[in-house]
Structure 1
Amino acid sequence: MPYRQDHQIAAMTDEAGKKDFNADKNRIAYLEWFDAPPKELRNGGCMILISGGSYESCCDVDLIKLWNKTFTQLGFQCVNLVYRTPRPVGIPYYQTAWVDGQRAVRKVRSEAKKRGFDPDRIGVISMSAGSHLALLLATSSQTPAYEKVDQIDELPCNINWAIVNAPAYGTTDAETGIPAPRQGYGTDVKLSNVFKFDEYTCPMSLHHGGTDIYSARTSTLVYRQLRRMNIPAELHLYADKGHGAFGLERGVEFMRQMGYMGKLEDEVELMSRYASDHSRADYSKMNIWPDGKMPDVQPNQCTPYLEWHTPKNLKTKAIQIIYSGGSYQGNDPDGFEVAPARRYLNELGMTVVTLKYRTPRPTTGLSKHTTAWQDLQRTIKIVRSEAAKRGLDPDRIGIMGSSAGGHLTLMGVTSSLHQSYLPIDEIDKLSCNVQWGIGIYPAYALTDGAEEPNKGKGNDDSAILVPEFSFDLKTAPMLFVHGDADGWAAMNSVKSWEKMQEMGIQSELHTLATREHCFQQKASPGTGSYTFLDRIWEFLTSKGFNK
């Protein structure tokens, strides 16, 4: 065993805490093989479970139990890696764990035939320091952590996928093994270079809480590097959550989408799943502008309007405004980007207002979004003016848009103190700030894609947020959902999330591996593209907006 140190043990904390625990009998790292799944469930894959514990212990006993139960039921052989802790002396704090990890992958691979799984279908799920180790295994298998011991070390130690929860010590302000004192931000703070991102780097699903002292910046930087390498990945960032493992079901959806659990089911049209307005009780349509008062009239544009959709059983006083995308060349309040969400929220008891904003793009030298932004600001004010008489809360209004509509949502969320037109009546004395926004694959948010799909996929540091987003003092938290393979790049959402994080605004983000623009139009059951509407309600619930 390389780098043997007499103070180290290999034991989960429940074992190490027993009165009769004998440290001298627990010096060697080991694999704990769990019962194989029933034959009818087996899918030919194996999951290595890796606890956290600051490299001082292996403490996540309950997580190991949960992961074993979850993945065994899904057909995976599960095995717990119990690596040496506490931290070694005189060598990097992660070195003995990395040695144990590389050796463990080789041992697992050597057992594949005997235990009935594919040696090239080995994944890991991890937590905290265990996720730092998982990132080493996922990105750096071609860098030997130790010299060859026996024939098992002839086997490769790469893994095939990873679900990485709350990775610690990933940025240069924390790579000495401490919480990130600057939250991973700063012009001199980068991703630690211990992660080599070699040619065997595998797809990952990264999960992180927005208030984690082991900064979520590690996950966003890892995600950015995976995108540069065209490696499919997911990023799940949770508002107001600290250090912990969140969204296990998102990791399962990632694995299903990637085919690690077998062939995907046939895709289903979203509109077919939400085909009627059976939960809607009342409907009304309103003009946005009084006759002769619409600003910057363009002869080529449609007439804007809004529609109220009130549920039969009102369960919240909150209001969600929804509108579609369409490259600012058209927009459809009855299409797949609006109607299903409207019906979904009506079923849950929330009032929805849909907006038809002015398109195509202005022809008189205005920016592509100017008239749409005017329509949105006016709509928010109208909704606020109508809320009380409809039994709703004028201070619980959110906006949601897709693609160009996602760009419009960012305008509404970040720039409500910026007047887009001169006041015309009493309604315009009301504010147009909102309490939340929902951006579904927002387009045009970065300078490398301000007019068309992102030329550099938004990955380069030179691709920054476009100047029309003010990020003023009324900027509201957002939920972002974006396809990882979208030409209107997922980095539109990631960099917007990062900006809000820097401002102390806790937002939520989910990217979806292999999925392109309009990921939700058709999706396979059990994937994130199929369940994405649930992320809306979960976000509203976590923030208390839908009470």
Structure 2
Amino acid sequence: MLRILFLSLLLTPLVVCQRSHADSPGEQAMQQLLDRDAVVIPLWPDDGGPPNQTQPVAAETVADSKSGKPAIGNVTKPSMVLFAPPPGVEATGTTILFAPGGAYGRLSLPNAVDVCHWAGAIGAHCAVLKYRVPRAADDPGHRVPLSDAQRAVRLLRTGAADLGIDGNKIIMIGSSAGGHLAFNLANNHDESTYPAQDAADQHSARPDAVVLMYPAYLTQPTGSLTADPSLHLDRLSPERTPPTLMTVTRSDKFTFGAVNTMLRLRQAKVPAELHVYPDGGHGGCFDKYPLMEFVRPAARFLKDHGMFTETMQQQSNAFLDRLQATFLKRNPVSGDVAKSAAAEIEPVTPSADWTAGDRQLAALRKPAPEIISLWPGDGKRADDPGAELSEELPQRPDGLVRITNVSRPTIHVWRPERPDGRAVILFPGGAYNALAAEHEGTQIAQWLCDQGITAFVTKYRVPRREGMDKHAVALQDAQRAIRLVRSRADSFNVDPQQIGVLGFSAGGNLATLTVHLSDRQSYPPGDSIDAVRANPDFAILIYPAYLTADDTADGLDPLIQRLKSSNDYPPIYLAVAADDRFAPDSLHYLLHLQRAKVPAELHVYASGGHGKGLREIGGPFAQWTQSCARWLADLQNGTTNVIVKGSR
């Protein structure tokens, strides 16, 4: 029989006493599943029972739920089961208070075990909250679970010294209904839900940070953007609401709630992030790939807000690396992308007809890339109102190359040493007035080449032509670039079925239009190249601009129309910073993709502003390259939406 410790909570200071067994089946189940000693902390004094108990409930049980996972039911004596880090792991003082999900009808245990293992690996205490379920019909606003959560935080702070924890580093994590409870606590921690019981209730119930795993019920109805009124989102503020990180899978019906909450957190300037992974449904934790990847941004986010140390972040990443290694071992379809033998990149002789922008960009790589005109003849279109423009290189304060007055569009071919068959056509941003062709072009091309991907930096026509839609000539160039690369796939050593687009800001808008207007002929066909299909096989949209319009029903630009079926969409990756003014564009577009059932991934980082590319000055946003590289590898390997069997 495991050794169990109980804390008496009738008076302060707390007195630790020893027992030989746990009081309830749920506590016993947690002990057996984790196989570690724990401190069991009853939430309420024995006399009088828990407050707000409105109906009698049958005896507590532990049984498999409909999904086949063990769960606790009929909780009448709420408690916390507190696990210290295992022997050999130094305690850091940080505490994770975990609220399991279960639709407010039961408490699912597997996720609790997973989170305890993660916490133990990084030196954090983990307190599993056994809150009251099932929910009473006469409990508006989930006040009974909220009172249990408030009391739990207060008790942790009251007993911090005796428990060996830091009362100012309490992170609440919740999954599904537990995620709803965690956010309810985050924003309603000071709401009076029960009469004070003792000195513990003088402490604040505000958690220092929250992590919401596929939180449920944040909107009512589920598929709307109408917030649960009991959450009181009108009260959101940086002072009131702790830093909040959310994760969910795109196909989860609760994605609407996560997106709406992120929009409101951003509006209120609360530090927040949202990470949406491709198809994978609802539930899971460290047994589902790539959902488990959320641990990486979560550890960095918590470190940024003083909850984790740098060492804890490193240990968390190592924990995730071990999980992913287990996944790769058990899924033979995955593995390193096969690369061909090293290719000799022959020098390119500068041509007399290279424009000023072409020469400037070519000088950024040794040897210089091959430069190809998009259009035949002199490289200009006779129907272009700006055909007489003379290319210019406006100076930037940071010294990066910027190009405008483009009338002769080209693509710059960046070949990797070991190409793997994938190709990406790059569209730099610049508000359709200029091209940020270095930090959103050539620097990205090198990053892609490092992964074995052949990159094509597109110098499309800017500025926008007077009297024409801002994207008109740019879309012509983008479609022509896709067709040209696909038509010459053999000479570029790329697979014509693996040609994607990547765009930044206005270039992200342009990349989006190549998806939604792929069947629209933006110019009269002129040669055999124009008979080749122009739709990309995947799309990467980095802080895309101009995707929304206030005068439309769903907030999206009218050009972004739903395609005929989900099969008409390619897989899509999006990344943006929460403090970017275009962040709502990505969030609303993600909901469009959710409705269309498109395998999409979205990362909204807490900060980074707009237009940073992959530079470290982007702060947390600079991490987009990590998640995008993993997404590209998953796309190649077919490793998304997989359960790691036997990971526990």
TM-score range, shorter chain: 0.7 to 0.9
Separation in 1 of the partners of 2:259 and 2:521? 33
Match of 1:531 in 2: 623
Match of 2:544 in 1: 442
Match of 1:45 in 2: 94
Match of 1:377 in 2: 479
List gaps (5 residues or longer) in structure 2. 1-49, 65-70, 286-290, 312-341, 346-368, 390-404, 640-648
CA contact (8 A) 1:483 1:519 kept: no
- One of 309, 313, 320 as aligned partner of 2:414: 309
| SS of residue matched to 1:336 | helix
Deviations 1:286-325 (A, max 9, x none): 111112552415133223211223333233x332112321
- One of 414, 429, 432 as aligned partner of 2:516: 414
Call closer, same or farther: CA 1:313–1:405 in 2, change over 3 Å: same
| SS of residue matched to 1:311 | coil
CA RMSD of aligned residues (A): 3.4
Match of 2:498 in 1: 396
Once the two structures are superposed, the pairs formed by residues 407-486 of structure 1 within 5 Å of their partners are 407-447=509-549, 464-473=555-564, 474-486=568-580
| SS of residue matched to 1:447 | coil
Shift in Å at residue 347 of structure 1? 2.9
CA contact (8 A) 2:62 2:73 kept: no
Q: Taking every aligned residue pair, what percent have the same amino acid on both sides?
A: 27
Q: Does 1:492 align with 2:594?
A: no
| SS of residue matched to 1:249 | helix
Separation in 2 of the partners of 1:34 and 1:431? 58
Separation in 2 of the partners of 1:546 and 1:340? 27
Q: Does 1:222 align with 2:261?
A: yes
Number of paired residues? Answer: 499
Shift in Å at residue 89 of structure 1? 5.2
Match of 1:349 in 2: 452
Deviations 1:55-95 (A, max 9, x none): 2322233x323323333444433322121233335435944
Shift in Å at residue 545 of structure 1? 7.5
Separation in 1 of the partners of 2:504 and 2:103? 40
Match of 2:596 in 1: 503
- One of 71, 83, 96 as aligned partner of 1:34: 83
- One of 239, 243, 265 as aligned partner of 2:282: 243
Once the two structures are superposed, the pairs formed by residues 237-386 of structure 1 within 5 Å of their partners are 237-244=276-283, 245=285, 246=291, 247-262=294-309, 281-282=344-345, 283-292=369-378, 294=381, 295-298=383-386, 299-300=388-389, 301-302=405-406, 303-315=408-420, 317-333=421-437, 335-359=438-462, 361-386=463-488
CA contact (8 A) 1:281 1:310 kept: no
Separation in 2 of the partners of 1:432 and 1:119? 57
- Higher mean alpha-carbon deviation, 436-445 vs 301-310, is at 301-310
CA contact (8 A) 1:280 1:346 kept: no
Deviations 1:86-110 (A, max 9, x none): 3335435944322211111111221
Call closer, same or farther: CA 1:463–1:85 in 2, change over 3 Å: closer
Deviations 1:248-305 (A, max 9, x none): 22222222333433589xxxxxxxxxxxxxx875453211111255241513322321
| SS of residue matched to 1:306 | strand
Separation in 1 of the partners of 2:385 and 2:344? 34
Kindly name which structure, 1 or 2, has the bigger radius of gyration based on alpha carbons.
Answer: 2
Shift in Å at residue 472 of structure 1? 3.8
Match of 1:194 in 2: 230
TM-score of the two chains, using structure 1 as the length reference: 0.82
Shift in Å at residue 378 of structure 1? 0.5
Call closer, same or farther: CA 1:407–1:519 in 2, change over 3 Å: same
CA contact (8 A) 2:501 2:536 kept: yes
Call closer, same or farther: CA 1:47–1:517 in 2, change over 3 Å: same
Deviations 1:426-458 (A, max 9, x none): 11112211122111111222236xxxxxxxxxx
Deviations 1:38-68 (A, max 9, x none): 999665532211211222322233x323323
Separation in 1 of the partners of 2:122 and 2:562? 44
Shift in Å at residue 354 of structure 1? 1.9
Shift in Å at residue 528 of structure 1? 4.8
- Higher mean alpha-carbon deviation, 115-124 vs 409-418, is at 115-124
Deviations 1:201-242 (A, max 9, x none): 2221111111224x2101011111112211121111112121
Call closer, same or farther: CA 1:72–1:131 in 2, change over 3 Å: same
| SS of residue matched to 1:337 | helix
Separation in 2 of the partners of 1:314 and 1:546? 19
Return the structure number with greater relative CO, CA threshold 8 A, min gap 6.
Answer: 1
Match of 1:275 in 2: none
Shift in Å at residue 491 of structure 1? 0.8
CA contact (8 A) 1:207 1:235 kept: yes
Call closer, same or farther: CA 1:263–1:288 in 2, change over 3 Å: same
Call closer, same or farther: CA 1:481–1:67 in 2, change over 3 Å: same
CA contact (8 A) 1:11 1:58 kept: no
Separation in 2 of the partners of 1:501 and 1:530? 25
CA contact (8 A) 2:131 2:149 kept: yes
- One of 42, 57, 65 as aligned partner of 1:7: 57
TM-score of the two chains, using structure 2 as the length reference: 0.70
Separation in 2 of the partners of 1:464 and 1:90? 37
- One of 121, 127, 148 as aligned partner of 1:79: 127
Deviations 1:106-160 (A, max 9, x none): 1122123444544333211111111111121112223223232223222221222
Call closer, same or farther: CA 1:57–1:51 in 2, change over 3 Å: same
Separation in 2 of the partners of 1:501 and 1:109? 41
| SS of residue matched to 2:495 | coil
Match of 2:106 in 1: 57
- Higher mean alpha-carbon deviation, 129-138 vs 279-288, is at 279-288
Call closer, same or farther: CA 1:9–1:307 in 2, change over 3 Å: farther
| SS of residue matched to 1:383 | helix
List gaps (5 residues or longer) in structure 1. 15-20, 174-179, 265-278, 449-459
Amino acid at match of 1:193: P
